[in-house]
Amino acid sequence: MKRTIALLLSLMLLLSCAPALAETAPTAPAALTITGSLELEYANQFSVDFCEGGYALITNSDGARFLTIPQGAEIPQGLDADIVPLQLPLSNLLISSTPTTSLINAIGALDAVTMTTQDYDGWYIDDVKAAMDAGKLAYIGSYKEPDFEVLTANPPPFSVFSTMIDSVPDVAEKLGELGIPVMRDTSTYEDHPLGRMEWIKLYGVLLGKEAEAQAHFEAQKALVEGIGAQSTGKTVAMFYITSKGDLYTRKAGDYMVKMLELAGGEYALPQLKPGESGTQKIEAEEFYTEAGDADYIIYIWSMGGKPATMEAFLERSPILPDFKAVKDGNVWFTTPDYFQISDTLGAMILDINKMLTNDDPAVTEFTYLFKL
């Protein structure tokens, strides 16, 4: 009898609590109400609108839209079909782009990344290699041929690829079939080098590290602002030579040229497609005619055969010994991680400025440039 009475009392208590539980359960908002936007100083390839309830709407320059859903919240009612909801917190991510990984690592969120399309030997970021050594980050094949069996067994809730994924549309299609959202990191389309680095703010929003992202960006921006706008008057040639002997130089509109200009240098080939980014193949004799008198050479070591000695560098082309920069001892090489990182672009620009203004020949090694 006592047991029956106890059960009845317990049932009555549960029924009396039911309305209160229903009132505190999360409800889906009927619509998104924008309350503000992420402040951007240089980046123009994405935007973030903050909405009531802690939601954030991300719009990429390619038209893709993503909505972060706060922990415990519901997907808004009537959400546009093209908007991809991302339930926070995000973890178990596939990040294909190495510069993107550098930004995520810089804000202390590398633990959220468990998959990469860059193999171990190709990484030059120590924290990434340590994560792979610890089994926290796994190589799942190249971006051209990721291991879809692994992705099927453990699908990430979100992935980021560089625009190189455009060359393999079948990969993007397959990821879509698996229900894995893909965001194209279009930071390479940014007009300003600091615009590339400002993407750190986007990953701060996605990974709950907004304050860390803002602080990191401000610190790197301050390094560039500290240089000032005055030109050193020094000219610089930037190029690499392939194993077949083909010479590639940077187009005048390339971000490396803009980094040089922010550092106070002048590009040796300002007339070479100033409205375009990337590299341009050019005949060695023509290149020497245009850039042979450059005060400095920045040789792209990671793409140019990785010469181990100055002699090995000079052997790459018969034109090289005649360059003014070679005769003056002003030949510098990019470090292996130069194109793998975006989180320290400010420090990289400062290194170029130090190269141009350094009067001590004994100082030969900086952080992102080195002499053989």
Whether residue 127 contacts residue 108, with contact meaning beta carbons closer than 8 Å, is answered with no
Nearest-angstrom CA–CA distance, 304 and 172: 31
pLDDT per position as a tens digit, 156-168: 999 999 999 999 9
CATH superfamily of 228-370: Nitrogenase molybdenum iron protein domain (3.40.50.1980)
SS3 content of the chain, % helix, strand, coil (to 5): 40, 20, 45
Rounded average pLDDT over 105-131: 97
The closest of 255, 234, 235, 237 to 304, measured between CA atoms, is 237
pLDDT digits (tens, 9 = 90+) for 3-37: 443 333 333 333 333 333 333 445 667 679 999 99
The model's pTM: 0.90
**In this predicted model, what pLDDT tens digit does every residue of 228-249 receive, in sequence order?**
888 999 999 999 999 999 999 9
Note the pLDDT of residue 13. Answer: 32
Instruction: Find the mean pLDDT for residues 339-353.
Output: 96
CA–CA gap between residue 1 and residue 163 (Å, rounded): 72
pLDDT above 70: residue 87: yes
Q: What is the per-residue pLDDT for 360?
A: 75
CATH code, residues 34-223: 3.40.50.1980
Question: How is the chain split into domains, by residue range?
Answer: 34-223, 228-370
What average pLDDT does range 122-126 have in this prediction?
Answer: 96
Give residue for tokens 């100082």.
363
* Phi, psi torsion values for 91, nearest 5 degrees: -155, 175
CB burial of residue 259 (10 Å; 0-12, 13-18, 19+): buried
pLDDT for residue 17 = 34
Task: Give 269-272 contacts, CB < 8 A, sequence gap 24+.
Answer: 269/237
